[in-house]
Amino acid sequence: MKTLGIDLETYSSVDLKKCGVYKYAESDDFEILLFGYSVDGGEVIVLDLANGEKIPTDIINALTDETVIKTAYNATFERVCLSKHIDEWIEPENWHCTLVWAATLGLPLSLEGVGAVLGLENQKMTEGKSLISYFCKPCLPTKANGGRKRNLPIHNIEKWQKFKEYNKRDVEVEIQIQEKLSRFPVPNKIWEEYYQSEEINDRGIAVDMDFVRNAIRLDEITKGKLMSKMQELTNLDNPNSVIQMKNWLLKNGLEMESLGKKEVAEVLKTAPPLLSEVLELRQQIAKSSVKKYTAMQNAVCKDNRVRGMFQFYGANRTGRFAGRIVQLQNLPQNHMPDLKEARELVKSGNFDAIEFLYDNPSEVLSELIRTAFVPLDNRKFILADFSAIEARVIAWLAGEKWRLDAFARGEDIYCASASKMFGVPVVKGGENGDLRQKGKQAELACGYQGSVGALKAMGAIEMGLSEEELKPLVDSWRSSNSKIVSLWYAVDRAILDCIKMRTTTKTHGIIFSYHSGFLFITLPSGRKLAYVKPRIGENQFGGESVTYEGVGATKKWEKLESYGGKFVENIVQAIARDVLMYAISTLGNCNIVAHVHDEVVIEADKRISLSAVCEQMGRTPPWAVDTSWAGRLLVPADGFECEFYKKN
């Protein structure tokens, strides 16, 4: 036996979507219903475990046999569920995830989506969702079903037979996907990174559940009081209703098309006192970030750790991670000077003190979300991150020497950029310090060929810049960063030539090639980005543009258009991701429990040195040490120690 393809159908009363597979599989009523498998791509066999069939000994042994490659679509699910079934933890090594394989080629992240894009002969059965809903989840007790809370095979033999066919079909589809993708095998290096990612997911991060439970209670109390006050001011049954609120505002002389955050913020500048008070109360009630506490409560395992929060290759155009469950990638920042004291008040349940000391308890809870994550067993957190990683990578890739020199001297890039743009010294909080904000806006908006629209989207107008300043600001930034501008156009030309002539092109250490309907971009690390069915199209200005197929903003598979700056953005973020993965590998002996973009969180023994961690994290990857276009990529890391997760 060389390979073992697996697909499971399972039951648990725990909600998989809300709680994740680790919590799902540790439920007391969890069980595997069907075990579909194929040895070496051969005949698919479905074992009916729900009706007493057993998994053969040789298959059980293969699950932990290092010489057998196990494959599954979203393999984490099968691995974690089978660990519970055989009562032995199965390590991620030698598991190959077909989802990851598809993602490395820019394909959708769902089995159904990949099958459709690849035009497989056998597609995932459309009845699957209803069958899963019937057999894999609890049901509502009714008179018609005799008051039962779960559907068993005996309750609908015909559906059960169909479910077995569905399980078999999924294995067949996975085999066909692997056959279709066999021309583009995943490099061993990517599988090694996948194993490292899975180990972090398996380890999980601890949550202070006493704090979380009291945060949820405080939120309920606070929202109850806010709702009562809104009802008193408006006489509405449900002031949270968009329709009711819009009608009330209209009756009071204010017409609003949307009650979104930006729209409300704009109206609050001029709204009369009563309307301002109501809208502000509504914003406090709508504070969605406190839902993170509920997400933690839903997903936390019996040992008070949340697991499975990082989707490897979740962003398939760069290979970056995507957040799952609690979504660490979009947690609110904390700015409170008395963060620890506020946290202790919430944890102890001293809600009266919170209401007395703070005007907005909802905002306090929002800033405290990060602090719910804690180290256990008398350990500490070490947080380390890269400084301005994307700005460093694009300067290195383009060979923009003045920026590289500024980084080497340890300068603030926003000040350095403003100084270059305006020709005067700019010091944060000092000489010409007011220009730093303009430098920052330009840096954030212009690096990937953004113009006036990008500045506006970044909030330039709200930050105090006038409409007349925007175009000169873009021009000034581009004039100061001519090598980055050249990078955009060089990448654009290299990709156009590659697609037109079906040939290999190269610029700035990046290789572009066309194979079997894919555009591949080979990064300095050797990793490849993939774009499906690249074509030459026409952009809105009548010039040539590149189109390809992928999942767009609508979350549907569609034709997408791109250009030099956008491809550079993908390349830069992908390189930054490779730098992070190298750091994670370098810190492999540390207990990494989380990572977010350019940051790692380590649950460390108190004897471990912060400086040693930062030194290891800040090592330049071998592929970026001595490059012909810009020399060494400098990626210094800085960090701090803490007793709970926070922003420094």
Residue-wise pLDDT tens digits, 433-454 = 989 989 999 999 999 999 999 9
- The dihedral through the CA atoms of 274, 279, 285, 289 has a sign that is negative
Contact present, 514 and 520 (Cβ < 8 Å): yes
Q: CA 192: distance to chain centroid?
A: 20
CB atoms closer than 10 angstroms to residue 401 = 12
Q: What is the dihedral of CA 120, 125, 128, 131, to 10 degrees?
A: -160
Q: Are strands 380-386 and 637-642 parallel, antiparallel or unpaired?
A: antiparallel
Beta strand spans in 488-552 (E) = 505-507, 510-515, 518-522, 528-538, 544-551
- Is the pLDDT assigned to residue 631 strictly greater than 90? no
User: DSSP H helical segments within 65-208, as ranges?
Assistant: 75-86, 98-103, 111-118, 128-135, 157-181, 188-203
Cα distance between residue 1 and residue 69, in whole Å: 9
Closest C-alpha to 388, from 370, 367, 406: 406
What 8-state DSSP symbol labels residue 124? Answer: -
Q: Looking at residue 289, what is its pLDDT?
A: 65
Return phi, psi of residue 506, to 5°. Answer: -150, 140
What 8-state DSSP symbol labels residue 137? Answer: S
Model confidence at 288, pLDDT cuts 50, 70, 90, reads low
What 8-state DSSP symbol labels residue 593? Answer: E
Q: Any idea which residue has 């890039």 for tokens?
A: 413
Residue-wise pLDDT tens digits, 520-573 = 999 999 999 999 999 998 888 888 999 999 998 888 999 999 999 999 999 999
Arithmetic mean of pLDDT over the chain:
94
Q: Looking at residue 408, what is its pLDDT?
A: 92
Can you give the three-state secondary structure of 433-495, one letter per residue? Answer: HHHHHHHHHHHHHHCCCCCHHHHHHCCCCCCCCCHHHHHHHHHHHHHHCHHHHHHHHHHHHHH
Q: Are strands 599-604 and 592-596 parallel, antiparallel or unpaired?
A: antiparallel
For 28, 292, 403, the CA distances from 54, given in Å and listed in that order, are 20, 40, 64
Cα distance between residue 113 and residue 557, in whole Å: 8
- Is the pLDDT assigned to residue 629 strictly greater than 80? no
Side-chain half-sphere CA neighbours of 114 within 13 A? 27
Residue-wise pLDDT tens digits, 235-280 = 999 988 999 999 999 999 999 989 888 889 889 989 999 999 999 9
Overall average pLDDT of the 314-326 stretch: 94
Buried b / exposed e along 65-102 (16+ C-beta atoms within 10 A)? eeebbbbbbbbbbbbbbbbbbeeeebebebbbbbbbbb
Give the whole-number percent of the chain exceeding pLDDT 70. 100
Cα distance between residue 577 and residue 390, in whole Å: 10
- Is the pLDDT assigned to residue 517 strictly greater than 90? yes
Residue-wise pLDDT tens digits, 595-613 = 998 999 999 999 999 999 9
Q: Looking at residue 249, what is its pLDDT?
A: 93
What amino acid occupies position 270? T
Residue-wise pLDDT tens digits, 461-500 = 887 888 998 999 999 999 999 999 999 999 999 999 999 9
- The yes/no answer on whether domain 3-186 falls in CATH 3.40.50.2300 is no
Cα distance between residue 161 and residue 613, in whole Å: 55
Question: What is the chain's Cα-based Rg?
Answer: 27
Could you tell me the pTM of the whole model?
A: 0.93
Contact present, 271 and 165 (Cβ < 8 Å): no
Side by side, the strands of the sheet bearing 3-11 are 44-48, 31-39, 3-11, 69-72, 95-97
Question: What residues have CB less than 8 Å from 634, skipping those under 6 apart?
Answer: 392, 396, 404, 407, 408, 620
Overall average pLDDT of the 46-58 stretch: 97
Q: Which CATH number fits domain 209-330: 1.10.357, 1.10.287, 1.20.1060, 1.20.120?
A: 1.20.1060
What amino acid occupies position 94? N
What 8-state DSSP symbol labels residue 631? Answer: B
Q: Any idea which residue has 């066919």 for tokens?
A: 165
Give the whole-number percent of the chain exceeding pLDDT 90. 83
Residue-wise pLDDT tens digits, 378-406 = 999 999 999 899 999 999 999 999 999 99
Helix/strand/coil for 317: coil
Cα distance between residue 288 and residue 134, in whole Å: 32
What is the H or E stretch that residue 250 is in?
helix 242-251
Q: Are strands 599-604 and 380-386 parallel, antiparallel or unpaired?
A: antiparallel
Instruction: Return the domain boundaries, the chain.
Output: 3-186, 209-330, 401-480
Cα distance between residue 382 and residue 610, in whole Å: 7
Q: Looking at residue 120, what is its pLDDT?
A: 84
Q: What is the full DSSP assignment across 353-377?
A: HHHHH-S-HHHHHHHTGGGGB---T
Cα distance between residue 72 and residue 76, in whole Å: 8
- Is the pLDDT assigned to residue 286 strictly greater than 80? no
Bridge partners, residue 373, by sequence: 207
183: left (phi over 0), alpha (psi -120 to 50) or beta: alpha
CB atoms closer than 10 angstroms to residue 339 = 19
- Is the pLDDT assigned to residue 281 strictly greater than 70? yes
Residue-wise pLDDT tens digits, 552-566 = 888 899 999 999 999
